Structure 1
Amino acid sequence: MATVELRFSAQPEHVRTARLVAAAVARRAGVEEAVLDEVRLAVGEACSRAVGLHRNNGLTGPVRVVLTEEEKVFSIEVGDDVPGPAGGSAEAVSGIAAALDPDNEGEDEMGLAVISGLVDDVEVTSGEGGGTIRMSWPVAKVSALP
């Protein structure tokens, strides 16, 4: 299992770099070429959402992006430091459920809806330590050359 971790200050200009890194790592992991645009767009939406949450809440910590290559799946987690509901345990909901959650507000709802439209396997987690959007894509099997 190979993992790449990227941390960047919550500035909009860094979102482009996160998109480029995500696409490069996804390509290396074996994600199909036709899906790379979806990876770029989904990462851009998730990172833009995290940057907005940080800036709106006056947080100075970095946005976290973890890209993980496993045998049959490539996953990306975008994390923020904005505390979610109190109670100690993280709440996880599927992407479309999070997008339709009446507690989500404006831009958050729109960003999650876009991500849910781009990614089949998405989970949004929110807890006292911050939130995470986890997205994953299947990895195309590459046949070995003789």
Structure 2
Amino acid sequence: MATVELRFSAQPEHVRTARLVAAAVARRAGVDEAVLDEVRLAVGEACSRAVGLHRSNGVTTPIRVVLTEEEKSFSIEVGDEVPGAGAAGAGGVPGARAGDPAEAADEADPDGEDEMGLAVIRGLVDDVEVLAGEDGGTIRMNWPTTPAEADADIMS
């Protein structure tokens, strides 16, 4: 199992770098070429969401992206450090904080961008999980990989 960890400050311009790194590591891990655009888009959405949460909540810690290559799968976790943010927080309202979920959601995400971002990710990734907790939220995304031996068999 190989793991790459990327941390970056909550600046929108760093999202592009995260997308490029994710696509390169996914390609090396054996994710199908036809799926790499989906990987890029999903990582971009997840990172943009984390950047937005950090900036709107005054969190100065870095965004965390963990890319893991396993035997038959490739996973990416994008983590923020905004307590209670995410689909599982505040009654299932994305981006909502403690208190009245509807009011908190309006304050945290008045344009519904957080909810839209999660919908885009769920549309791009078949295996996705959104978690929220006291220490922040995590979006876990998984894709199947093609083992290197199978690629060699196809080529011969």
**How far apart, in 1, do the equivalents of 2:47 and 2:124 lie?**
15
Per-residue CA distance 1:103-123 (angstroms, 9 max, x = gap):
664111000000000000000
Aligned residue in 1 for 2:118: 112
Opposite residue 139 of structure 1, the aligned amino acid is T
**How far apart, in 1, do the equivalents of 2:70 and 2:146 lie?**
12
Question: Does residue 39 in structure 1 map to residue 39 in structure 2?
Answer: yes
Give runs of ≥4 in structure 1 deviating > 3 Å: 101-105
- Maintained 8 Å contact 1:81/1:131: yes
- Within a 5 Å distance, the mapping from 1:28-67 to structure 2 comes to 28-67=28-67
Q: Give the greater-gyration-radius structure (CA).
A: 2
Aligned residue in 2 for 1:136: 142
**How far apart, in 1, do the equivalents of 2:63 and 2:93 lie?**
20
Per-residue CA distance 1:84-143 (angstroms, 9 max, x = gap):
17xxxxx59xxxx887x9866411100000000000000000000000000000002332
Gaps spanning 5+ residues in structure 1: where? 86-90
Gaps spanning 5+ residues in structure 2: where? none
Aligned residue in 2 for 1:124: 130
**How far apart, in 2, do the equivalents of 1:140 and 1:63 lie?**
29
Count of residues paired in the alignment: 136
Opposite residue 22 of structure 1, the aligned amino acid is A
Q: Calculate percent identity across the aligned residue pairs.
A: 79
CA RMSD of aligned residues (A): 2.2
Per-residue CA distance 1:32-76 (angstroms, 9 max, x = gap):
000000000000000000000000001100000000000001000
Return the structure number with greater helix share: 2
Could you state the TM-score of these two structures normalised by the residue count of structure 1?
Answer: 0.86
Opposite residue 49 of structure 1, the aligned amino acid is R
**How far apart, in 1, do the equivalents of 2:73 and 2:93 lie?**
22
Could you state the TM-score of these two structures normalised by the residue count of structure 2?
Answer: 0.80
SS in 2 for 1:53: helix
- Maintained 8 Å contact 1:98/1:124: no
